[in-house]
Chains A and B, each alone.
Chain A
């Protein structure tokens, strides 16, 4: 029994990493194709049928590129930084339930790697560690553009993390549990939380875009001012780790949003896991759509928006939810 569980766990871990890597490759292709269509051009469509083999070509190119390091760089931290980013990005998905528990060999198998009672807080713990990769990468490169990018990343992510935490607390209070599976089961009984928590969801989604450094919040890698921000000096697989982490973070925040606000794997007819992926795919499309539509924020406006608009709004919504849940209203 014990052996079977360990084997299942290993299979689940390998599957999860496979899904995330495949998800990254094809989200990137989807983004390039969609951006092409948004801008009235075709996008990459030459490698394989309809460009479907493009990610493999990109991967080969990245793997074969020379790995450069600036002379003044701090060698240990320079090599460590992309690893931290990729590691934390992959870890978060371990607690997200991808589907309803399935029955296999007389065992009930949860479709997540771990199911801790404080899953939501684990998500936040790992995502708050992700910023180290950006700051350290920027610092270790010993390049002023990289450094500015790293500093921007830390300031931005700390500012928006507060509003994100407060927005999610409403869900935690309504469901009465921080266990992600418990939150989905609550929504099965009481309807999706997007209805009572629409304000919290809007705040969560804005902060999620900022946390993943996507346009219009991609100040840390603003190419018109900072060359490429924190990853200016990186090349080859180390550069690829940063890009992979960015896309996996997109998938992760989409998965968390689906779990918290849109009923996770719940849905009629189709199997639960398919529903989960459909919902995540819709979120990914919105991410790309926003990138194609909105221009980048100015830096002071970004900070003003985070501290003076999002944080008070999240706090007010949080207090309102608390009053509602405890029965004051």
Chain B
């Protein structure tokens, strides 16, 4: 329980930091803190494979790509905010936050929660259990998601295809001349 509270505080602080930080790189760092504390949550649930996968995929691959782009874009720039293009978005966001938060609170009071059955299924989130689930009865969904992601990746490549048929070296020479 103590571990849960400490972790929850760290995770929430990370999540808040993402939106509060002025520097995009600091936001990315807070997001990594959040991701890693989620991974430790998985370990508390003894879902060790989920934890390792969370760190490898999200912290190790996706966030590195994020940082790759963010460091390139923010290098040597001042960190004060650009002027706002959309007038009054702060006020609107505040109103929306109050409305949605209030709505959730009302819902919570009107429909009090039932007791959630505790106890985790056998093999929850470890290598064996995940493998059984992904490659067993649910394989069709895994294949569908994989196909969708592959299509998206190939689609990006096709959409960004250069119009001219020239090879990169030739284009480089053209640009230089």
Contact = CB atoms under 8 A, between A and B. Distances in A.
Interface of A: 74, 77, 116-118, 121-122, 124-125, 128-129, 131-132, 135-136, 138-139, 142, 144, 147, 150-151, 154-155, 157-158, 161, 178
Interface string B53-94: 101100111001101100110011000000000000000000
A245 B65 CA distance: 22
Contacts of B67: 132, 135-136, 139, 154
Given A128-B59, A154-B64, A118 B52 contact: yes
A257 to B, nearest CB: 19
A129 B64 CA distance: 9
Given A117-B48, A117-B127, A158 B75 contact: no
Centre residue among B26, B49, B64, B68 by max chain A CB count within 10 A:
B64
Contacts of A135: 64, 67-68, 71
A20 B29 CA distance: 28
A128 B32 CA distance: 12
Centre residue among A74, A128, A138, A144 by max chain B CB count within 10 A:
A128
Given A121-B52, A154-B64, 19 more contacts: A74-B23, A116-B48, A118-B127, A122-B52, A124-B56, A124-B60, A125-B60, A128-B64, A129-B60, A135-B68, A135-B71, A136-B25, A138-B71, A139-B25, A139-B67, A139-B75, A144-B76, A155-B68, A161-B61
Contact of A132 (B32, B56, B75, B126): B32
B76 A142 contact: yes
A117 B56 contact: no
A3 B60 CA distance: 36
Contacts of A147: 71-72, 75
Contacts of B76: 142, 144
B75 A125 contact: no
Interface of B: 23, 25-26, 29, 32, 48-49, 52-53, 55-56, 59-61, 64-65, 67-68, 71-72, 75-76, 126-127
24 contacts: A74-B25, A77-B26, A117-B126, A118-B126, A121-B49, A124-B52, A124-B56, A125-B56, A125-B59, A128-B55, A128-B56, A128-B59, A129-B60, A131-B64, A132-B64, A132-B67, A135-B64, A144-B75, A151-B68, A151-B72, A154-B64, A154-B68, A158-B65, A161-B61
Nearest to B48: A118
Contacts of B48: 116-118
- Nearest 3 pairs of A and B residues by beta carbon: A128-B60, A121-B52, A125-B55
Contacts of B71: 135, 138-139, 147, 150-151
A151 B52 CA distance: 25
Contacts of A116: 48
Centre residue among B52, B53, B55, B67 by max chain A CB count within 10 A:
B52
A125 B29 contact: no
Nearest to B43: A116
Contacts of A178: 127
A142 B25 CA distance: 13
Nearest to B52: A121
Contacts of B127: 117-118, 121, 178
Contacts of A121: 49, 52-53, 56, 127
Contacts of B60: 124-125, 128-129, 131, 161
A118 B26 CA distance: 31
A158 B52 contact: no
Nearest to A179: B127
B176 to A, nearest CB: 16
Contact of A158 (B29, B32, B53, B64): B64
Nearest to B32: A132
A128 to B, nearest CB: 3
Contacts of A132: 32, 64, 67
Contacts of A74: 23, 25
A99 B59 CA distance: 31
Contacts of B126: 117-118
A77 B29 contact: yes
A114 to B, nearest CB: 11
A25 to B, nearest CB: 29
Given A117-B126, A121-B52, A124-B56, A77 B65 contact: no
B170 to A, nearest CB: 14
A50 B125 CA distance: 54
